[in-house]
A and B are shown apart, each in its own frame.
Chain A
């Protein structure tokens, strides 16, 4: 708790004119007995900063409340070191910029915001980083294909020890089975020997790299910096202590035997991409039916991909693979007629040059729907398709080979599917109305074998790829310290895989370095706070261990939570989940936010000034409110905004606190949830929504209308919708009428 708090009011940027700063100063001095309250025309100037710095040094101030601009700006200016608590009261973006300056209601809003800021600073403590002794800085790479080797090589180049585990006898994976690869340098359209051998050699030459082939990860326990991986190798079982893990186990081709509608299995001369690759390595393109040379070859792309019956997604690389293979055929014999039937040809990045080259070589492309294949005489194949360019059916006859470009299935999607419903665990057999929490899904793919309470493998997204916030932090899986790279993470081609693996190596290094300093990884990088569990209050309800989106908490036999702080992302979802309020952070806890709510002054009913508490997610909703201010959109004067780390940290007690205080409504602004979620902590806003389904009982107990609480999903680009969202809620509250608890 801060011992000595000082309040600084900035009169710059129109704040001095738009607000009565003297009245604001009185709030601090009179209501909170703060001695040191200063006003300055530009706190962000060197002089303004100096003013604060001097007070810290001379007056012993350790809690600084700065009322001025948004905490999202001038962050570094107002950083006074790790031991000084800084609380920013947003009077500019969310004050005079979106409320009329000089207005009585705006002044009341500013005063309430200041009250909340002072309370928050008072309740905050300086966090002490959670540091682990003897943290391991070794990186474990699982999978020795292009992605694994690249990640291992990049990590080794940065001087981090690497342990690489490959299930096969030889390294190289899919890339080593290629006949040729497309040049990764200009002109990007030539065939060359696969360079995977050079990469393997470079890796083998690195010191500090341990490679286990014909090996498998049997078990992983621990947490970032402290993982213990049990690996079965040719020479028995070994245990390695590692700090971070890169999962690069790749993908497997889609099972072509399911593609009977495209002739596979029915006609001998229908083959797959992999089978053609093998022919290329043998040096002969022949018809499987009679071994005669193939002179007319067609490729059918998206075979079993982008197909609701098979793989609904695009495999990202079968266009490029087919282009490369078409070039094999044309380089072997330019007179071979080669046809490519595609639905959308995707040649990402520099692959456009390859596409162009293949066209130059005379390969004919068909953008076609409903490609049909049949067999003519002498096992020759006939393709019929609707060509969209001439808008007519086209027939290609006398085909010796038809190659199906099959999609890829991530190795994380192999094995038995396990569905873990966060909700079901709590209420076994009990059917409850209201929104459900999306269950976690993983497959028993035998890759990681984590000893985690929430299951042995990575939770997956819709198609079995590891779940991650794919826009903001694609490599981050739902298990801190474990990063997926390459085709196991998403379908991709070689070039992307190399970039991806490099990125994952960097993420693993970041994790090691941040963990060593007791800091959080993405998205709350550098945060030194961590949750503390007051187990004397715990009732073993398991909400925290079930709801943690990152599997940070294990459980003992009695269902007490066993925290693993280095796995924690500091979203405080556990804090929001805990009905006992047993979980807290030094600078973020249930009481603190509750006290902030209680600091709001609620006018009497006859003043007709309703109050709305807005709990806004720091990641999208809060910046969106700032943007609304920057665009000078006008917001309802009744709102009082409290930023939350994530709506997942929303504890129901705050709503009770607010309504009991006489506040008319609570608006929760959080990220989009569901399948295409945008929540930075994956399930935070979804869990908040789930908790709200339970609020009804609480409200009934208080004899209040459930309409007084509303949750709205906003993305950062929804800033322009905020006036309407808030106004709409205010209107509804007007209909419901004032909170009967006012004045109690």
Chain B
């Protein structure tokens, strides 16, 4: 099928970063040095060409952008300074908005006005809600649950979380349609379930990031991810364990509190490091910061920090500061989760493992179509 060259795509992609794609003269060094590029899933060089020619459909149906973890080796070795890693990053941003059916992602990525508008809206609405609906303010000593009644906060939180999960999963479904839809694969439900192990493995470990040359990034990223996941779980079980949103907090050695301490400092380290990195621009991954990269960090860091303040003030039994810190903690958390998870950068927590999941499904489908090849593959893996 002939390719109709579309110069508009390149212009469009500029808004997502990756304006250097036209500098590529296709020597292929990037693909050669990439430790993640494989025979079947070759990148980044191929994608540089897709961008140059504006092959939007091809890109939309590609899984490769999610296989790149942006170690920057390609960027360091590019003789043309075409920044292939950044172009792959731009494609992930573009794909994120393409998967999102609401159109909100597009606004966040391409317009600073709407970015500020939505962040501000959720921030101030949250503050307003806390201001309007908070419980009695006890100032003698900290009574956080009195200030923010758990029976209200938790259900609202669950509703909010469920909404986000539905939005994100609906986008994942669209991603599935784009990537595997054209192949019209038919697999028994059991395969979908079996391969969930791939999904979970990569969700929890980000093992592919370890294949990059620089292993330290995997550690930093895993600190952030594990910290976030633990904090997320602790908040979710708080209704049962009552370690946080309570008038009678347990002792410091309470397991939840110990875990929470790990989570806070792990995340604080990773995000601070990322902010400093992006300011110093030494590593390829930090050289080009899109406005949404800053939006993510500037929501995440204060979220963690205000969370830490809540704990400190609680331990110090400072009532008013605790309530203020809690209010701001919520004010940062709501736009962070509400915008980043389904529509923006944080959505990659789902897209990356799902990409690998889809590839496994594709492999399984192919193996079923060609049983003799499957036997060979099994013989090989054995």
Contact = CB atoms under 8 A, between A and B. Distances in A.
| A and B associate | yes
Interface of A: 296, 335, 337, 339, 345, 355-356, 359-365, 367, 384, 387, 389-390, 392-397
Contact of B53 (A359, A362, A390, A397): A390
B53 A364 contact: yes
Interface in B39-85: 49-50, 52-53, 55, 80, 82
B1 interface: yes
B55 A339 contact: no
Interface of A, helix, strand, loop or mixed by DSSP: strand
B22 A390 contact: no
Given A359-B22, A359-B80, A364-B53, A397 B4 contact: yes
Contacts of A384: 2
Contact of A362 (B5, B22, B82): B22
Contact of A359 (B3, B23, B49, B55): B23
A387 B53 contact: yes
A361 B19 CA distance: 10
Contact of A395 (B3, B49, B80): B3
Contacts of A361: 22
Nearest to B10: A362
B157 interface: no
Contacts of A335: 11
27 contacts: A339-B5, A355-B25, A356-B23, A356-B80, A359-B22, A359-B24, A359-B25, A361-B22, A362-B10, A364-B7, A364-B10, A367-B26, A387-B3, A387-B53, A389-B49, A390-B49, A390-B50, A390-B55, A392-B1, A392-B2, A393-B2, A394-B2, A394-B4, A394-B5, A395-B2, A395-B5, A396-B5
Interface in B12-41: 20, 22-26
A390 B20 CA distance: 19
B13 to A, nearest CB: 11
Contacts of A390: 3, 49-50, 53, 55
B42 to A, nearest CB: 12
A364 B50 CA distance: 11
Contacts of B80: 356, 359
A364 B6 CA distance: 11
A621 to B, nearest CB: 42
A360 B23 contact: yes
Contacts of B25: 345, 355, 359, 365
Contacts of B4: 394-395, 397
Contacts of B55: 390
A134 B52 CA distance: 67
Contacts of A356: 23, 80
Contact of B7 (A337, A360, A367, A387): A337
A123 to B, nearest CB: 62
A387 B80 CA distance: 21
B21 to A, nearest CB: 9
A300 to B, nearest CB: 15
Contact of A364 (B20, B22, B26): B22
Contact of A392 (B3, B20, B24, B52): B3
Nearest to A397: B4
A19 to B, nearest CB: 58
Contacts of A387: 3, 53
A67 B1 CA distance: 77
Contacts of A355: 25
Nearest to B58: A390
Given A364-B10, A364-B53, 6 more contacts: A337-B7, A364-B22, A367-B26, A390-B53, A394-B4, A396-B5
B62 to A, nearest CB: 13
A130 B261 CA distance: 101
Q: Which of B5, B23, B26, B49 has the most CB of A within 10 A?
A: B5
A339 B2 CA distance: 17
Contacts of A392: 1-3
Contacts of A397: 4-5
Nearest to B2: A393
A364 B25 CA distance: 10
A364 B52 CA distance: 6
B22 A363 contact: yes
3 cross-chain pairs, A with B, having the tightest CB-CB distances, nearest first: A393-B2, A337-B7, A359-B23
A317 to B, nearest CB: 19
B143 to A, nearest CB: 61
B89 to A, nearest CB: 19
B53 A394 contact: yes
Q: Which of B20, B23, B55 has the most CB of A within 10 A?
A: B23
Nearest to B49: A389
Contacts of B49: 389-390
B52 to A, nearest CB: 5
